[in-house]
Structure 1
Amino acid sequence: MDGDGDCTDEQSVVNVVQGAALYVLVIIITFIRRMQARRKSIRRGPSEEKKRQERSRIEHIERIYNGFSDSCVNYIRMRSGAFVKLVSIMRNNMLLKDSRNISVEEQLIKTLNILGHKSKNRIVRSHFIRSGKTVSRYFNKVLQAIICLRGRYMRQAINDTPQEIVNNQLYYPYFKDCIGMIDETHVDAMLPINLVARFRGRKGVTQNVLAACTPDKLFTYILAGWEGSANDFRILQDALSRPQPHGLKVYDGKYYLCDAGYPTMPGFISPYCGVRYHLKEHSGKTPKNRRELFNLRYSSLRSKIESVFGTLKNRFKILCAKPHYPFPTQVDIVLACTILHNFIATVDPSDELLSESEIDEDIDGEVTNENDNNLVDFTQTQTQREQTESRNEWKTLSDNIAWAMWVDYCDKYNHGVSTET
């Protein structure tokens, strides 16, 4: 009995070993055949189908470059000169690389077309004869590469008076301490059903984006990702409470112009409430007092940020759609679009979608603001009394600006009579 059992065990072991050996042999033979097929493929070169697809892609890119005079602008929302510059920056800084099958140019063109026209994955896939997975992978890769340019093309406002204010007698010297404007804009968002209620505000389901810009219509700060239902002042407080360089920089004695949704407080001046403010409300009417004059010129200067929002959404239609991407990607899309706006305004200031032609081009290198030691620290807590006192000080400053503006206006247009109605 024991002998028969030992024989059975030995036979089982032999069978297992033979099976394993056969399995390994099959794997080796399969591997060899695949290697032989691959060598034959390499020797023979790509198939006719692959060659046809590659020719189609090359012809498609060629039409974008050399089709109609506006083909490049229409397809990727920037002119060819700016695009070539962007490709060069990506390659030289190793932010994007040519893969075995996809060039940097193709990677950028696909992404810019999606951003500019809210193109669906399946549309881009058919244009370039790529798989949907490939299109999606390179879209995210290019987004991150663009965001890496933030330090170069989106710098926070410097502690100096912008030339657009210095060179305009309507603004200077009254707004000599203004370093920019802040405002919020809403961008459509697509979210899981359990988060929709949090993001639903008066403009639908959106993300609320806080932005700061200078009078030359360059973004200097972006904070995206907040719920569309969030209060604007709450978002500003978040931006001020973040440690540098992630927080909004406010310099001692300098300020941003903001709308009536924000209070006048250290570093921020808002218009007079209950007084005509919007430019269209002043159409054909002369100011009757210092408050109306202040709001008129204030609105004229602050309209720059409303204009830049319009330009941004006109160029990148994806910001006016509900993108079918994970929410973190939707936040990255907003940031990438604002960086591209600054890039185009810098390297191609005569771009037809920009309303101003003179943009400072000296923005290529990363530099640190020299006066960062004058930053206001908003992380320090204040008592209610201290907050009230500081806000009253800035309201007095606003009143002084309005009065100086009114006196000069009356001297020029009203024979020096400064009576208010």
Structure 2
Amino acid sequence: MRKDAFATLVSMLKRTQFLRDNPQSKVEEQVAKFLYIIGNNFRNHTIRFFYRQSGETVSWHFHQVLKAIISLEDIFLKQPDGFKCPPEIRNNPKYWHYFKFKYILPGWERSASDSRILDNALTRKMDKLIVPQGKYYLVDVGFQLKTGFLVPYRSTRYHLKEYSVHQPENSQELFNLCHASLRNEIERAFGVLKKRFPILGSGAEPYYDVDTQADIVLACCILHNYLMGIDPNEGLVEEVDTELRKGQVQANVARSSLAEECREGELLRKRIATDMWRDYDINL
């Protein structure tokens, strides 16, 4: 984060009711500690060592800054009204990497199904997901096709690599190609989010309770949207693009190896079935 972006963020957070200068530390220091934790996935004891403060003080500052950032939700997490589209998206045929998060519903356990979470988002009393009149969201095959939510065609080519050699041959394949292209941009946005805030991508045992984990996800998305408007960090985006390309190459190699194994298995099964039928026919 650039110095000017940090200064602007601190200025906004100072206007909330959660952060104040105190004899031990200024607001700038409290915010810096918070960003240091989520930006490096550091634990309390690491910050305590650097700042020579008690664990209780570090924890208090972390949670106060967390509350302050979440209080900016109405500014940086606005659901689309269906009338406006950012020019960076509207004027770019490849959709660019400008995507911001518009609706966040953290706190669900990993085992929850996509459809269950979506139903809750649409029916909950607070923070309800609203689909603008006449608009729709693109969703993957884990969801149900219905008004306002479009899934790709099943049993039809979908992934971008499947169209690298053979172009779409009908309307359904063209729809799936465009759907997959947008999904790729969304995966890039999530990649940038996790790259910017490693605390989200850590596979280690969670250090915070469930409610705090949900708040951290929300705060990171708010900060992501803020930074996309003032400090997008092109180098970070390029890192994510490189990783995605490497991942696609590795997936292609693995898929090619699996296809070869399937062909060998098919030949073996066919040979065994033929031998069995020959022996069966002889014994009749």
**TM-score bin, normalised by smaller chain:** 0.7 to 0.9
Is structure 2 residue 168 aligned with structure 1 residue 287?
A: yes
Corresponding pairs, count:
235
Name the CA shift for 1:221/1:168 in 2 (closer, same or farther; >3 Å).
Answer: same
Extract unaligned runs of 5+ from structure 2: 239-284
Name the CA shift for 1:97/1:351 in 2 (closer, same or farther; >3 Å).
Answer: farther
Q: What is the aligned counterpart of 2:104 among 212, 222, 236? A: 222
Distance 1:309 1:129 in 2: 35
1:8-407 alignment, distance < 5 Å: 78-160=1-83, 162=85, 163=87, 166-167=90-91, 216-243=98-125, 246-321=127-202, 322-350=205-233, 352-354=235-237
Distance 2:125 2:184 in 1: 29
More strand by share: 1
Paired residue secondary structure (2:102): strand
Name the CA shift for 1:169/1:343 in 2 (closer, same or farther; >3 Å).
Answer: closer
Residue 126 (structure 1) shift? 0.8
Residue 166 (structure 1) shift? 4.2
Q: TM-score, normalised by structure 1?
A: 0.53
Residue 165 (structure 1) shift? 5.8
Name the CA shift for 1:278/1:126 in 2 (closer, same or farther; >3 Å).
Answer: same
Considering Cα pairs closer than 8 Å and 6+ residues apart, tell me whether 1 or 2 has the greater RCO.
Answer: 2
Distance 1:107 1:233 in 2: 39
Q: Which amino acid aligns with 1:266?
A: T
Q: Which amino acid aligns with 2:103?
A: Y
| Identity of matched residues, % | 47
Query: How much is the aligned-residue C-alpha RMSD, in angstroms?
Result: 2.1
Paired residue secondary structure (2:208): coil
More helix by share: 2
Residue 301 (structure 1) shift? 2.0
Residue 216 (structure 1) shift? 3.2
Paired residue secondary structure (2:145): coil
Residue 347 (structure 1) shift? 2.1
Residue 254 (structure 1) shift? 0.9
| Structure showing greater Rg | 1
Q: TM-score, normalised by structure 2?
A: 0.77
Distance 1:302 1:314 in 2: 18
